[in-house]
Amino acid sequence: QCRASRPARAGVPVRTPGEKGVALSREQMLNGVALYRAIMPQLAPWAAKLGVTVPAPMPTPAELSSRT
């Protein structure tokens, strides 16, 4: 019902509360959570101390497109 409402700006679809968060959560479950490159080096010593395996970095979209 809400999505059928007239949008405030023409061409911009009506969104409902939480819709953006749900979409982001789905995307992150499929593709992982993007972190700034400086974060993992800061977490690595803690992972080693706690015996947690640090995952290998995922390729960036640019790296993926250059493979094809």
pLDDT, tens only, 1-15:
777 888 888 888 888
Say which DSSP state 67 is in: T
Give the residue-averaged pLDDT of 28-52: 91
Q: State how many domains the chain has.
A: 1
Residue 50 — pLDDT band, cuts 50, 70, 90? very high
Hey, is 4 helix, strand or coil?
A: helix
Q: What is the pTM of this model?
A: 0.54
Can you give the residue range of the structural domain that contains 58?
A: 2-66
Give the residue-averaged pLDDT of 23-45: 90
For residue 68, what pLDDT is reported? Answer: 67
Asked if 13 and 3 touch (Cβ cutoff 8 Å), the reply is: yes
